[in-house]
Chains A and B, each alone.
Chain A
Amino acid sequence: MKKTFLFPSYFRKIGWIISITTLLYLLIGLIFFADDFDFKFIMPAIVALGEIINFSPETAYFVFTETSFTTTLFPVLMIIGFVFMAFSRERNEDEYVSKIRERALVWSVLATCVVLILSILLIYGLSAFYVFWFDFLFFLLLFVIKFRIDIFRFNRSAKKDEE
């Protein structure tokens, strides 16, 4: 069998744990602690907003900038968690499972493109910035849902036939 780029199957569990904890942290933080949970820290940046001159921020290059959990760690952890969930080997991995994965991938890329086009046309301003990385998360989420439904059906079909 050819080598795939998939993670070992136990990575799916790790992915679930990472994304659920991150999401819970954000939700509980937002609901009960307002902005306090959103800890800030300093990160090196290639491009950042520098000093504000005449009310408009200047662009600065290769500087240290202050950032927070929701704008950096949250999306990074969510992407890592979702990627582990989406691209781990199945326990009964074989060529049919690969085919199901491929179909789910095409389906979710197409659906994401539709959502992306709609959001480009309908969402403007600062929110548009968030939409782009959120759309990537949406793609991974959609793929995970579609793939799991298809795998569930695949497993069930064989059980039904047995009865």
Chain B
Amino acid sequence: MKISQHELADRIGVSRQTINAIELEKYVPSATVIMKIAFVFGKRVEDIFTLEESDWK
């Protein structure tokens, strides 16, 4: 599925800058946004977002 940052941002109701920050791992979005992203791509949340070692610290 090909989709631009802009389109994704519009569909889930956040700014394009936020999508960019999520991609660059600068920002961990809220559960609502995470689930919306998964919904748009038709995947499960775990297929897109994973926990890292540093998240446990």
> How many of B's residues come within 8 Å of A, CB to CB?
15
Mask for A90-116, Cβ within 8 A of B = 1, else 0? 001111110100000000000000000
Mask for B16-53, Cβ within 8 A of A = 1, else 0? 11101100101101100100000000000000000000
Q: Which of A14-22, A33-41, A130-138, A150-158 forms contacts with chain B?
A: A150-158
Residues of chain A within 8 A (CB-CB) of B16 are 92, 158
The answer to whether A158 touches B33 (Cβ under 8 A) is no
- With A94-B13, A95-B14 in contact, is A161–B29 under 8 Å at CB? no
Q: How far is the CB of A155 from chain B (nearest CB, A)?
A: 6
Interface of A is mostly: helix
Which chain A residue has the least Cβ–Cβ distance from B33? A95
> How many of A's residues come within 8 Å of B, CB to CB?
13
The answer to whether A161 touches B20 (Cβ under 8 A) is yes
Residues of chain A within 8 A (CB-CB) of B20 are 157-158, 161
Which chain B residue has the least Cβ–Cβ distance from A99? B27
Residues of chain A within 8 A (CB-CB) of B33 are 95
Interface centre among A93, A95, A155 (most CB of B within 10 A): A95
Q: How far is the CB of B6 from chain A (nearest CB, A)?
A: 10
Q: List 20 A-B contacts (CB under 8 A).
A: A92-B17, A93-B15, A94-B13, A94-B14, A94-B15, A95-B18, A95-B33, A96-B21, A96-B27, A96-B29, A154-B17, A155-B17, A157-B17, A157-B20, A157-B24, A157-B26, A158-B16, A158-B17, A158-B20, A161-B24
A-to-B contact residues, CB < 8 Å? 1, 92-97, 99, 154-155, 157-158, 161
